[in-house]
């Protein structure tokens, strides 16, 4: 079994990702990006397995929260989103065995971990559907008929559900609403058949383009 | 926007305001009610929606009604 420290913080917070052996096949995974580090209480990062059918698995977001309680530390562990329930449940054993080894890592086994409810995983079925739709969008495949709102199929387009407004469109809608408020105060009518819905001519630029 | 609100009069807010489709009138209400429903309610609705989008992407959510869980850990629903 090989292991490598991947994330470390000054507040004695180290995440070790192990090479895991499942049915005699060794598999590996890695931290893709670190989203947030709030010392000493919170760590958020994305993770994928390196190889499933020749490709890395979709990224999942892992949130670890350390909470002080009566002089001890309680660790809350959360991972989302999985595409299937089987995939989610398949992670239980792996993480639990990692947490068992965390005791050895921390203090040569002198500390003890409470083993109940260590793993808290999102189980709402809807999330799997969101995640699957989101993954299809990110892969640039705009042909999925369930993703009608995001017909551009642009990488990075986010909508939490195929029926939802994509993020950029929603942000634009909110940004232009005060203009509608102003027009209600200064004009007597609003013609819905006006070009561009009567909205001001604004252009949305991505951060990269700016 | 602030200047426009400041320039509004009590009288103008009670005047009728209409949604039209060309020559056809679809809806008429007092200006203050239209302002509240079409702008305020609408704006609050979508701003809350945007907060959920931010949370799902692990982007810190700004304060709206009091501090969000990012600004005050005690507001966080993540608990044992």
The verdict on a CB contact (< 8 Å) between A190 and B57 is no
Q: How many domains does chain A have?
A: 2
pLDDT at B59 (0 to 100): 81
Best of B56, B60, B79 to disrupt the A interface (most A CBs within 10 Å) is: B56
The verdict on a CB contact (< 8 Å) between B20 and A44 is no
pLDDT digits (tens, 9 = 90+) for B14-25: 999 998 888 888
Instruction: Name the domain boundary from A123, A158, A182.
Output: A123
Question: What's the burial of A55, exposed, middle or buried (CB within 10 Å: 0-12/13-18/19+)?
Answer: exposed
Same domain assignment for residues A103 and A10? yes
Which ranges of chain B have pLDDT less than 70? Answer: 72-80
pLDDT at B43 (0 to 100): 94
pLDDT at B60 (0 to 100): 81
pLDDT digits (tens, 9 = 90+) for A28-56: 777 777 777 887 788 888 888 877 777 77
Same domain assignment for residues A97 and A188? no
CATH code for position A25: 3.30.530
pLDDT at B18 (0 to 100): 92
pLDDT at A12 (0 to 100): 30
Examine residue B40 and state whether it is found in any structural domain, yes or no.
yes
pLDDT at B68 (0 to 100): 80
Give the A window 139-198 contacts with B, CB below 8 Å. 158, 160, 165, 167, 170-171, 173-174, 177-178, 180-182, 184-186, 188-193
Pairing assessment for the beta strands A119-121 and A72-80 based on DSSP bridges: parallel
* Global pTM value: 0.44
pLDDT at A198 (0 to 100): 57
The verdict on a CB contact (< 8 Å) between A191 and B80 is no
Distance from CA of A137 to the nearest CA of B (A): 15
Cβ atoms of residues A195 and A187 within 8 Å: no
Helices (H), chain B: 2-7, 10-13, 31-34, 42-56
Q: How many domains does chain B have?
A: 1
Examine residue B30 and state whether it is found in any structural domain, yes or no.
yes
Q: Per-residue DSSP letters for A188-201?
A: SEEETTSGGGG---
Examine residue B79 and state whether it is found in any structural domain, yes or no.
no
Examine residue A108 and state whether it is found in any structural domain, yes or no.
yes
Same domain assignment for residues A66 and A7? yes
Examine residue A26 and state whether it is found in any structural domain, yes or no.
yes
Range of the domain at B7: 2-66
pLDDT digits (tens, 9 = 90+) for A50-100: 777 777 787 888 888 877 777 777 777 788 777 777 777 778 777 777 776
Examine residue A79 and state whether it is found in any structural domain, yes or no.
yes
Average pLDDT over residues A141-152: 37
Examine residue B31 and state whether it is found in any structural domain, yes or no.
yes
Examine residue B39 and state whether it is found in any structural domain, yes or no.
yes
pLDDT at A121 (0 to 100): 36
Question: What's the burial of A82, exposed, middle or buried (CB within 10 Å: 0-12/13-18/19+)?
Answer: buried
ipTM over 0.95: no
Range of the domain at A69: 3-123
Q: Count how many residues are written for chain B.
A: 80
**pLDDT confidence bin for A201, thresholds 50/70/90:** low
Give the A window 105-124 contacts with B, CB below 8 Å. 117
Examine residue A95 and state whether it is found in any structural domain, yes or no.
yes
**pLDDT confidence bin for A153, thresholds 50/70/90:** very low
Average pLDDT over residues A114-131: 38
Q: Is the pLDDT of residue A130 over 80?
A: no
Q: What is the DSSP-derived secondary structure letter of residue B71?
A: T
Average pLDDT over residues A109-118: 42
pLDDT at B75 (0 to 100): 61
Examine residue A132 and state whether it is found in any structural domain, yes or no.
no
pLDDT at A191 (0 to 100): 83
Examine residue A68 and state whether it is found in any structural domain, yes or no.
yes
Cβ atoms of residues A14 and A7 within 8 Å: yes
Examine residue B78 and state whether it is found in any structural domain, yes or no.
no
Examine residue B71 and state whether it is found in any structural domain, yes or no.
no
């Amino acid at each position: 079994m090989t292991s490598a420290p991947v994330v470390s913080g000054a507040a004695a917070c180290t995440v070790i990702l192990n090479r895991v052996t499942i049915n005699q096949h060794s598999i590996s995974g890695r931290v893709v990006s670190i989203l947030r580090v709030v010392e000493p209480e919170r760590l958020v990062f994305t993770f994928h397995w390196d190889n499933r059918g020749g490709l890395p698995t979709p990224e999942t977001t892992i949130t670890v929260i350390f909470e002080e309680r009566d002089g001890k530390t309680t660790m809350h562990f959360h991972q989302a989103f999985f595409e299937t329930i089987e995939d989610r449940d398949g992670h239980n054993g792996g993480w639990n065995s990692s947490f068992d080894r965390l005791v050895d890592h921390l203090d040569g086994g002198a500390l003890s971990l409470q083993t109940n409810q260590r793993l808290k995983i999102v189980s709402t079925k809807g999330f799997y559907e969101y995640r699957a739709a989101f993954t299809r969008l990110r892969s640039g495949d705009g042909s999925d008929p369930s993703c009608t709102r995001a017909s551009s199929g642009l990488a990075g387009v986010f909508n939490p559900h195929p029926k939802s407004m994509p993020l950029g469109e929603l942000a634009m809608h909110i940004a232009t609403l005060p203009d509608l408020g102003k027009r209600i105060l200064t004009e007597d009518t609003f013609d819905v058949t006006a070009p561009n819905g009567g909205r001001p001519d604004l252009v949305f630029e991505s951060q990269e383009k700016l | 926007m602030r200047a426009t609100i400041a320039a509004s009069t009590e009288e103008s807010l009670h005047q009728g305001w209409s949604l039209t489709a060309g020559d056809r009138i679809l809806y008429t209400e007092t200006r203050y009610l239209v302002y509240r429903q079409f702008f305020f309610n609408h704006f609050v609705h979508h701003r809350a929606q945007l907060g959920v989008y931010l949370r799902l992407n692990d982007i810190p959510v700004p304060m709206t009604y009091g501090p969000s869980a990012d600004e005050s850990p005690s507001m966080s629903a993540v608990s044992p």
